[in-house]
Structure 1
Amino acid sequence: MTDTQPDTQPDTQPARELVVLLDEEGRAVGTADKATVHHAETPLHLAFSCYLFDGEGRVLVTQRATDKATFPGVWTNSCCGHPGPGEALDEAVRRRVRQELGTTVTDLRLVLPRFRYRAEQAGVVENEICPVYVGTAEGPVTADPTEVGAAGWESWSDFRAAVLDGSREVSVWCRAQVEQLPEDPLAATAAPEADLPPAARPPSAGGADD
C-alpha cells in the first residue's frame, strides 16, 4: 500500500470578496460574490461612502480607475466600499481607506446612516444602502492605481458649491450625498449607530442580523 502524502501545494486561488444582500428594510438576507453582483439587475446590498479631510479642512476627491467594473473614470468622494459579512461598518471603512488610499483615518464619524441610492451607467446598476462617514486622513495618501485614477485635495466649500450648482461632474451617489451632508461636515454631530440599517448595526446598538 502506498502512503498518501498531504497536498502541500499553496492555494493560489484568491479569496472571494462577499457583499451583504439586503431586503427593503435593510436586513441581511444573504451574501453574494462582489465580482458577480453588479449587473443590469443588481440586488440591494450594503455599502459605505467616506469623505476624508486634511488638517486644513480640505476634502479628498478621487477619480475611479478607468478599468473598474462600475462607473469607471467618474470623479467622486474619497472612498467607497462594501463591508464583508460580520464586519463592523466602521472597521470596513478603515480597512478600505488603508487598501485604496494607503492612509489611515481618525475621528471617523457616521453622518448619513440611512443613505440609499440606485444608479446606472453603461447597463451596470449600483443599488445600495450606503451609510456615509466623514473622517480625517492621518498621513500621506498613496492611492492604489487599480482603484484610483487620480486624487486631489479641494476646498470643501468650493467643491460643495460646484456640485450643488451642477458645474462639477461627480458620481450620482456623491451628488446626492453632498446635497444631504451638512454645510460643515467636520462640525457635524455623529449620528447614532442605532440609526444604521439593521444589517449594519453592531450588537450594542441592536444588530446586526444575518
Structure 2
Amino acid sequence: MESCEEYVVLVDEEDKEIGIEKKLTVHSKRTPLHRAFSLFLFKSTKDTKELLLQQRAEDKKTWPLVWSNSCCGHPSPNESYKSAVIRRTRYELGIKLNAVEKISDYRYCFSKDDIMENEICPIFVGFYDGNVVPHPQEVQAVKWIRWEAWQEETAKYPDKYSPWCVEETRILALDKKFNELLACLPS
C-alpha cells in the first residue's frame, strides 16, 4: 500500500539529489526537475511481442485519461529506480515483478492544462504473463497491443498519447539492447 504522504526527489541536470518535495504539491506550472521512471511491460511468452498500455485515471493531476506506457512513477527518497519500478507496478497494476532492466536514460519537460512534467526518467523494460489488476485511483483501463502496431500508432497519432511515452517508444525502437531482448523472447 502506498503512503498517503509521498515525496519526490528533486535533482539537478546530472541527477544529483538537491532536495525533496511533496508529490501532491510538486507538479505545477513550474515543476522543479525531479526523478521519475517509465516502464514498458511486455508479455514474455508470445511471439507477437505485446506491450501493456494504461489509460491514466480520470482524477490524475497530470494527463488524466491519456493513454501511456505500462507504468510511470517516482522513486521515494533513498529508493533506487529499480525498486521504485517494482513497487509502483505492484501498486498501480497489481503485478509482482521480480526484475526489470534499464534500457536508456531519458529527460523530458512537457506541459498540459497548466501542469508541467519535468523529469529525469530512465526507461525500464519488464516481462509479465499473468493477470493485471489496475488500481482505480491510478489506472482507468489497460490493454495489450503488439509492439509493431504500437510503433505505427504513435508515429501516426502522437497527440493521442502521453508525449513522454511517444518519445520513449522511439528511443526503444532504435535501442540495440532493447531489440536484442525482444528478439530472445520465446514463441
Q: TM-score range by the shorter chain?
A: 0.7 to 0.9
Q: Distance in 1 between matches of 2:102 and 2:63?
A: 25
Residue number in structure 2 paired with 1:16: 5
Specify the SS of the correspondent of 2:125: strand
Residue number in structure 2 paired with 1:132: 123
Residues 167 and 49 (structure 1), Cα distance of their counterparts in 2 relative to 1, 3 Å cut: closer
Question: What is the letter of the counterpart of residue 17 of structure 2?
Answer: A
Residues 70 and 142 (structure 1), Cα distance of their counterparts in 2 relative to 1, 3 Å cut: same
The CA deviation string for residues 66-118 of structure 1, in whole angstroms up to 9 with x for no partner, is 11111101000000000001101101100000000001224511111x20111
Specify the SS of the correspondent of 2:84: helix
Q: Name the TM-score, length of structure 2 as normaliser.
A: 0.88
Residue number in structure 1 paired with 2:185: none
Specify the SS of the correspondent of 1:104: coil
Stretch of structure 1 that moved more, 71-80 or 177-186: 177-186
Residue number in structure 2 paired with 1:84: 76
Conserved? CA contact 1:48–1:132, under 8 Å: yes
Stretch of structure 1 that moved more, 166-175 or 33-42: 166-175
Specify the SS of the correspondent of 1:90: helix
1:53 aligns with 2:42: yes
Residue number in structure 1 paired with 2:18: 29
Residue number in structure 1 paired with 2:55: 63
Q: Distance in 2 between matches of 1:83 and 1:100?
A: 14
Q: Distance in 1 between matches of 2:90 and 2:159?
A: 27
The CA deviation string for residues 41-84 of structure 1, in whole angstroms up to 9 with x for no partner, is 00000000000011222000110001111110100000000000
Specify the SS of the correspondent of 1:87: coil
Specify the SS of the correspondent of 1:94: helix
Q: Distance in 1 between matches of 2:144 and 2:99?
A: 18
Q: Name the TM-score, length of structure 1 as normaliser.
A: 0.78
Specify the SS of the correspondent of 1:174: helix
Q: Distance in 2 between matches of 1:132 and 1:179?
A: 12
Residue number in structure 2 paired with 1:172: 163
Question: What is the letter of the counterpart of residue 89 of structure 2?
Answer: V
Question: What is the letter of the counterpart of residue 123 of structure 1?
Answer: D
Question: Greater share of helix residues, 1 or 2?
Answer: 2
Alpha-carbon offset, residue 165 of structure 1: 2.8
For structure 2, the 5+ residue unaligned runs are: 183-187
Conserved? CA contact 1:59–1:155, under 8 Å: yes
For structure 1, the 5+ residue unaligned runs are: 1-13, 190-210
Select which of 134, 140, 154 maps to 2:145. Answer: 154
The CA deviation string for residues 110-144 of structure 1, in whole angstroms up to 9 with x for no partner, is 111x2011111100000000000001125210001
Specify the SS of the correspondent of 1:181: helix
Identity of aligned residues (%): 41
Conserved? CA contact 1:74–1:170, under 8 Å: yes
